[in-house]
A and B are shown apart, each in its own frame.
Chain A
Amino acid sequence: MQLTGAEIVIRCLQEEKVEYVFGYPGGSVLYIYDELFKQDKFKHVLVRHEQAAVHAADAYSRSSNKIGVCLVTSGPGVTNAVTGIATAHMDSVPMVIISGQVPTAYIGQDAFQECDTVGITRPCVKHNFLVKDVRDLAMTLKKAFYIAKTGRPGPVLVDIPKDITNQKCEFEYPKTVTMRSYNPVVKGHSGQIKKAVQMLLEAKRPMIYAGGGVILSDAGEKLTKLARSLGYPVTNTLMGLGGYPATDKQSLGMLGMHGTYEANMAMQHCDVLIAVGARFDDRVIGNPANFAEVSRKIIHIDIDPSSISKRVKVDVPIVGNLPDVLDELQKLLEASAGVPDPKALAAWWKQIDEWRSKKSLKYKQGKEIIMPQYVIEKLYEVTGGDAFITSDVGQHQMWAAQYYKFDKPRRWINSGGLGTMGVGLPYAMGVRFANPKATVACVTGEGSIQMNIQELSTAKQFRLPIKIINLNNRYLGMVRQWQQMFHGNRYAESYVDALPDFVKLAEAYGHVGMKIERPADVEPALREAFTKHKNDLVFMDFLTDQTANVYPMVAAGKGLSEMILAEEL
C-alpha cells in the first residue's frame, strides 16, 4: 500500500508498540502531527518546552526499559531538545528522537527554522540519520529502534525533512535489521570468565562495584544472587542504586564523591575488585592515579569495550551483556570446587564493620530548622521505601541518593553523567506515564525546579499526581558548598534572591501547594500529601537549613580514602 512519509512514521511507531510520544508541534512536523491526530493507537504528550519532552521520554525509558520516543520540530525545536538528548546519552538511555527538518531543497539555504540537526546532535547521540528518500524511512526508523536498545543503549535521532513526510511510497515494516557495521557483542569470553571466577575465589578482601549497567540491562537479580552466593560486599554507583538492595547487610551503600565511608574505604583497600556495568568515572573513583597507587586485581564486565581500561587498567576484561555474563559466572562458580576463604572474608567484614561504625551519614536534626537529610528519611518512611524517586542535580540529589534506600532497580531516576539541572519534574512525568499507578516523588531544589517549572502545566493537563519535594535553602546548595570549602566562603552568584511563592505558584497551575518550615511538621505534611492528596500534584516547599553540606565528600582530584567527614568540621 502507498503511504505518505508522515503515515509511515506513525505506522512504524505503532509497529514498535510505542505507547507515548512526548513532543511539541511545529512547521516541519505538521504532516506527522496531522497523521498522529487521525490515530489512537498511541498517545501524544504535549509538553511546554522540548527539553522536557526529551527528559520525560528519557525517564519513561529509565523507569520501564521501554524505548522513550519524542517528536520535535526543526531548528529551535531540536536545539531545545539537545540538553535532553545529551543527558540521555551520558547515561546510556535507549531513546528515539524524531525531528522535523526543512524541506530537502531548502537544506543549506539558511531557511526559516533550519539548523544542522545531524551535525549539532552527532556528539551526543549513539547514532543519527537524515532521511533523504521516503523509501528509506521505514528501514531507518527500524534501525533507530534497533540501535537504541542493543549493545550499550543510547539515544538515536532521525531527522526527517518536511517534503519526505508528504511523499508517498510502498510501505512494509521491515521484520529484521542486519547491519554489517554494527554487531554488538553479547556473550562474554568463556576463558576470561573462568579467570574471573578463579580470581574471585582467591580474594582475601573482595569488593563488588556495581554501576548503571546493572539497571540498564536488568541484571539486578542476577547480581544479587551472585553477591549472596559469594558473601562479598557490594557498593552501588549513583547510577546503579537499586541494582543491589540497599537495605541488605552486604550493601555498603553508594560510593564515590559523596559515598559512604565504608564503601570508599573498601573500594580503596580491597584486593580483588569486580566492576559490573560501571565505568570508573571521576565522580566515582576520584583521582585515577591515587586509585592506582594501591595494588588490586580488577575484573571488569561491560558491554562497551571502550569503557574498559579507559580510566583504570584492568586485569580481566569481559565484554558482554551483563545478564549473560553473570549467568555464566554463577554457573562456573557453582561448578567450582573452591569456596571463598572464610577466615579472610570474616576479617574483611570485621574491617568493613569498623568503617561502618563511623556512621558517616549521621546528622543532627534540631527543633528549629529542618535538615534536608531528615526530609528524605521521612519521605522514605512515608512512602514505605517503594516510591519512584526522581531528582534534579545538586545537594538534594546527593541526599536523596544517600538517604532513600533503594531496594529495587529503576526506582531512582536522575541525571548522573551530564548532571542536568531541571530534569526532576519532567522525569517524574515520564516515570508516571510508564508506571501509571506508581507513587512518584521529585526531590528537587529551588534552583533546579525553576529550570523546567513550566511543566507544572503539562502535569495538570495529564493529571499527574507527582509529589514535588522542594528542599529550599535559598542557595544553589552544591555551588555554595564548593565555594565554602574551596573558594574562601565567597558565595559568588549562588544565593537565589526573589524566589517565587511556590505555594501560590503551584496553585496558579491548579495544583496543591504546601510550605513546611518546622521539623515537627515534616512527617505530618508528607503523610497528608501522600494520603489525602494522593491524586493531586503537591508542591511541598520545605524551608531547610541553609548551611547543610553533603558529607562525606571526596574533593575533586583527591583519592577515595581522603574523605572529608561531617564530624571533622
Chain B
Amino acid sequence: MRHIISILIENEAGALSRVSGLFSARAFNIESLTVAPTEDASLSRMTIVSTGSDDVIEQITKQLNKLIDVVKVVDLSEAAHIERELMLVKVRAAGKDREEMKRIADIFRGRIIDVTDSAYVIELTGNGSKLDAFLEAIDRSLILETVRTGVSGIGRGDRILKV
C-alpha cells in the first residue's frame, strides 16, 4: 500500500541524510521525498511517499521516530488528506503545436510561465495521476524536459502537524 508520511525534523545539517540513510539501511522503499523549512525556520517538514505492508509502514514510522532529530511523524494516508505535486514541463511549441499545447495546458489548469518562439514552460499542480495524465495527453515527442517536486501533503480539516 502507498503511504504518505509527514515528518517534522530539526532543521540541522545532515538531517536529510539521517532520514534517507535510514531508508536505505533498512531497505525501505522511497517513491518520493520532499523537504523544506517550515514557517519556523528551526524546523523542516518532509513528505515521504513509500509503499509497503502495514508491518513495514509501522516499522518506518517507528524507526523515523527513533531518530533523535525527528520531532513528529504522521502517516497522512491514515485519514483524509490532500496531496499535491508541482511539475514544470518544457515543451516544443512551434507552428500548429503552439495553439494545441496552450489548449491542453488550459484543460489541465496549467500555466505557461515561460515563452520563446519555439518552446513553452508549463507549470502544473495536482496529484501524481493528474500530472501523469497531462504527460499522456500531449504528444510525447514534444516534451523537451520535465521536472517534478514529489508529493507534498497536508491533513484535511482539524488534522494539524505542528510542534
Q: Contacting chain B: which of A178-186, A332-340, A509-517?
A: A178-186
B10 to A130, Cβ gap below 8 A? no
| Contact across chains for A180 and B13 when beta carbons are under 8 A apart | no
Asked if residues A181 and B25 are in contact (CB atoms below 8 Å), the reply is: no
Does B65 interact with chain A (Cβ within 8 Å)?
A: yes
Stretch at the interface among B67-75, B83-91, B116-124, B125-133: B67-75
Q: A122-B18, A123-B25, A127-B68 are in contact. Are A181 and B58 (CB under 8 A)?
A: no
**Among candidates B9, B65, B68, residue contacting A147 with C-beta atoms closer than 8 Å:** B68
Q: How far is the CB of A52 from chain B (nearest CB, A)?
A: 26
The reply to whether the CB of A309 lies closer than 8 angstroms to some CB of chain B is yes
A positions within 8 Å CB-CB of B = 118-119, 122-123, 126-127, 130, 132, 147, 179-182, 304-306, 309-310
Contact between chains at A305 and B65 (CB < 8 Å):
yes
Q: With A122-B17, A306-B63 as given contacts, are A179 and B68 in contact (CB-CB < 8 Å)? A: yes
> Which residues, 35 to 89 on B, are CB-close (under 8 Å) to A?
55, 58-59, 62-63, 65-66, 68-71
- Taking CB atoms, residues of chain A closer than 8 Å to B69 are 127, 181
Residue of B18, B62, B71 near A306 (CB, 8 A) is B62
* Residues of chain B within 8 A of A306, CB atoms compared: 59, 62-63, 65-66
How many cross-chain pairs have Cβ atoms below 8 Å apart between A and B? 38
The A-contacting residues of B in range 88-132, CB under 8 angstroms, are none
28 cross-chain CB contacts under 8 A: A118-B14, A119-B14, A119-B17, A122-B14, A122-B21, A123-B21, A123-B25, A126-B68, A127-B68, A127-B69, A130-B13, A130-B14, A147-B68, A179-B68, A180-B71, A181-B9, A181-B68, A181-B69, A181-B70, A181-B71, A182-B68, A305-B65, A306-B59, A306-B62, A306-B65, A306-B66, A309-B55, A309-B58
Contact partner, B59, options A122, A123, A180, A310, Cβ 8 Å: A310
Q: For the complex, give the distance between the alpha carbons of A304 and B18 in Å.
A: 18
When chains A and B are docked, how far (Å) is the Cα of A305 from the Cα of B64? 11
In the assembled complex, B163 has its CB within 8 A of some CB on chain A: yes
Name B62's closest neighbour in chain A (CB-CB): A306
Tally of B interface residues using CB under 8 Å: 20
Q: With contacts A132-B13, A310-B59 known, what are 18 further pairs, Cβ within 8 A?
A: A119-B14, A122-B17, A122-B18, A122-B21, A123-B25, A127-B68, A130-B14, A179-B68, A181-B9, A181-B10, A304-B66, A305-B62, A305-B65, A305-B66, A306-B62, A306-B63, A306-B65, A309-B55
B9 surroundings in chain A (CB, below 8 A): 181
Contacts of A127 in B (CB 8 A): 68-69
Report Cα–Cα, A179/B67, bound state, in Å. Answer: 12
- Chain A residues with CB under 8 Å of B18's CB are 122
> What 4 pairs between A and B have smallest CB-CB spacing?
A306-B62, A127-B68, A181-B71, A305-B62
Tell me whether chain B's interface is mostly helix, strand or loop, or mixed.
helix
User: Complex formed: what's the CA distance from A118 to B68 in Å?
Assistant: 14
Q: Report if A180-B21 is in contact (Cβ < 8 Å); known contacts: A305-B62, A310-B59.
A: no
A130 to B12, CA, bound (A): 10
Q: Hey, which chain B residues are within 8 Å of A305, CB to CB?
A: 62, 65-66
Can you name the residue of chain A whose Cβ is closest to the Cβ of B9? A181
A166 vs B84: C-alpha distance when bound (angstroms): 49
Q: For the complex, what is the distance from the CA of A126 to the CA of B13, rounded to whole Å?
A: 17
**CB of A154 to closest CB in B, whole Å:** 10
A491 to B69, CA, bound (A): 48
Question: Across the interface, which residues of B come within 8 angstroms of A119, CB to CB?
Answer: 14, 17
A127 to B25: give the CA distance in the assembly, Å. 15
Kindly report which residue of chain B lies nearest to residue A122, judged by CB atoms.
B21
Task: Name B3-34 residues within 8 Å CB distance of A.
Answer: 9-10, 13-14, 17-18, 21, 25
Measured CB to CB, the nearest residue on chain B to A124 is B25
Question: Which A residues are in CB contact (< 8 Å) with B13?
Answer: 130, 132
A181 (CB) vs chain B CBs: closest residue: B71
Nearest opposing residue in chain A for B42, CB measure: A180
Contacts of A304 in B (CB 8 A): 66
Most buried by B among A123, A126, A181: A181
Partner of B163, one of A123, A180, A309: A180
Chain B residues near A310: list those with CB within 8 A: 59
Q: What is the minimal beta-carbon distance from B19 to any residue of chain A, in angstroms?
A: 11
**In the bound complex, CA of A304 to CA of B10 (Å):** 21
**Which residue of the partner chain B has the closest CB to A125?**
B68
B63: A residues at CB distance < 8 A: 306
For the complex, give the distance between the alpha carbons of A19 and B9 in Å. 35
Return chain B residues, CB-CB under 8 Å to A179. Answer: 68
Contacts of B55 in A (CB 8 A): 309
Closest Cβ neighbor of B71 among chain A residues: A181
Give the complex CA separation of A122 and B23 in angstroms. Answer: 13
CB-CB < 8 A to B17: which residues of A? 119, 122
Residues of chain A within 8 A (CB-CB) of B10 are: 181
> In the complex, which residue of chain A has the Cβ closest to the Cβ of B63?
A306
CA–CA, A304 to B59, complex, Å? 12
- Closest Cβ of chain B: how far from A337's Cβ, in Å? 36
Contacts of B65 in A (CB 8 A): 305-306
* Contacting residues, chain A, for B25 (C-beta < 8 A): 123
Cα(A306)–Cα(B65), bound, Å:
9
Among residues of A, the one whose C-beta sits closest to the C-beta of B70 is A181
| Residues of chain A lying within 8 A (CB to CB) of residue B62 | 305-306
| Bound complex: CA A149 to CA B84 (Å) | 41
Residues of B within 8 A of A180 (CB): 71, 163
Contacts of B68 in A (CB 8 A): 126-127, 147, 179, 181-182
Q: Which of B129-144 contact A (CB under 8 A)?
A: none
Residues of B contacting A123 in the complex (Cβ-Cβ under 8 angstroms) = 21, 25
List the B side residues contacting A130 at CB < 8 Å. Answer: 13-14
What is the CA–CA distance of A304 and B63 in the complex, to the nearest angstrom?
10
Distance of A115 from chain B, by nearest CB (Å)? 15
- Nearest chain A CB to B17's CB is how many angstroms away? 7
Chain B residues with Cβ below 8 Å from A126 are: 68
Nearest A residue to B64 via CB reads: A306
Shortest distance between the CB of B64 and any CB in chain A (Å): 9
Residues of B within 8 A of A181 (CB): 9-10, 68-71
B7 to chain A, nearest CB (A): 11
Q: Which residues of A lie under 8 Å from residue B66 when comparing CB positions?
A: 304-306
Q: Which residue on chain B has the smallest CB distance to residue A310?
A: B59
Q: In the complex, what residue of chain A is closest to B13 when comparing beta carbons?
A: A130
- Considering the complex, give the chain B residue whose CB is closest to the CB of A308: B62
Task: Point out the residues of chain A lying under 8 angstroms from B163, CB to CB.
Answer: 180
A246 to B61, CA, bound (A): 38
CA distance A147 to B68 in the complex (A): 8
Task: Give the CA-CA distance A182 to B59 in the complex, in Å.
Answer: 18
